[in-house]
Amino acid sequence: MKKNRLLAKWLNDDLSPDELAAFEAGPDFEKYKKIKEYTNHLEVNDFDENAMLSTILSHKKTTPKVVPLYKKMIFKAAAIFIFALGITFVMNFFIPESQTADFGEKTTFSLPDNSEVVLNSGSEINYKKWNWDNNRHLKLKGEAYFKVAKGHKFEVETRLGKVTVLGTQFNVKVRKNRFDVVCYEGRVKVNYAAMQILLTHGQSVSFENGKEIKITVNSLKPEWMNNQICFYKENIRSLLDEVERQYNIKIELNTKDTIALFTGKLPAKDLETALQIISTTYHLEAKKASGNKIIFDEK
């Protein structure tokens, strides 16, 4: 009740300076502030004291009633709470959910049907909870591993292509102009440009700049989930971009572009070893600059 009285006094600009400061410091103040903007149209008719007195006197057998003036404020506060519940419902079910993994981090979460998702560093997923069981559709930026619960069609949309499954385990990766899909269990359908490809257990497909790349995958799950960064025929720029994501660092490359493609693994939890492998492979010298910056120079 105390909270309601404070809210009511705030709605009527009747708080003391100390009460106002305490109210604005509360955890729900921003929510109340936004809701107030949408509920300014709510009006409660003023009491006509003279008319009420005449009505009471004309009914002598009616017991006089005292109507506290603060009831108007309480009514408006209650209306705002009801409106807030509606806003909360809309936010929970209609506004898209977002899950992210910052550079140097990985994020694991479950979808409404208990499908499991692991986001790799520098990745993001957006989806809607509303009617999820009948419309299992999400948008991916970056890379993620999916363990999909059986049910209706499950779609992963990216800017380069779409992956469709019913219930399976697979990995999707989108970096710049490269699109990789690996099926670890069940079957997945991959749509890329005008092509449609069906993958089964242990199969994969990759495209870069519109061309298909033949790769072989022998692992039981994505290497990055075991803190290894795996590359299949990738150029040095893409390699360094991924190292930046996994270690949350900045890399400067002072060398001529090379057409040599890298296939192999780098550790995701041992920066010194990763830098040594890159330096040896491309005949570079790695130097640590200020902060979290690494500079590669030609030897």
User: pLDDT tens digits for 54-87?
Assistant: 665 565 555 555 556 555 566 666 667 666 666 6
**Does residue 89 have a pLDDT over 60?**
no
Residue 112: what pLDDT?
95
Per-residue b/e over 192-229, b at no fewer than 16 CB within 10 Å? beeeeeebeeebbbbbbeeeebeeebeeeebbbeeebb
How does residue 45 score in pLDDT terms, banded at 50, 70 and 90?
A: very low
CA dist., res. 10 & res. 189, Å (int): 57
- The CA distances from residue 184 to 59, 107, 160, in Å, are 82, 20, 21
pLDDT computed for residue 178 by the predictor = 94
Q: 170 forms bridges with which residues in the sheet?
A: 146, 183
Would you say residue 294 has pLDDT above 50?
yes
Virtual torsion, Cα 299, 236, 183, 125, nearest 10 deg: 120
Amino acid at 250: K
Sign of the CA dihedral with 15 first, then 30, 112, and 119 last: negative
Higher-confidence residue of 263 and 55: namely 263
Q: Do 209 and 218 contact (CB within 8 A), yes or no?
A: no
Coil, strand, or helix at residue 124? strand
Per-residue pLDDT tens over the stretch 208-249: 999 998 777 888 899 999 999 999 889 999 999 999 999 999
Q: How far is CA 65 from CA 41, 47, 53, 69, in A?
A: 29, 13, 10, 12
Does 175 score more than 90 pLDDT?
Answer: yes
Question: In the structure, how many helices (H) and strands (E) does the chain have?
Answer: 7, 19
146 backbone dihedrals φ, ψ, rounded to 5°? -120, 135
Length of the chain: 299
Closest listed residue to residue 10, CA positions, set 45, 44, 35:
35
Which tens digits make up the pLDDT trace of 176-217?
999 999 999 999 999 999 899 999 999 999 999 999 987 778
Q: What is the mean pLDDT of the chain?
A: 83
pTM of the model: 0.67
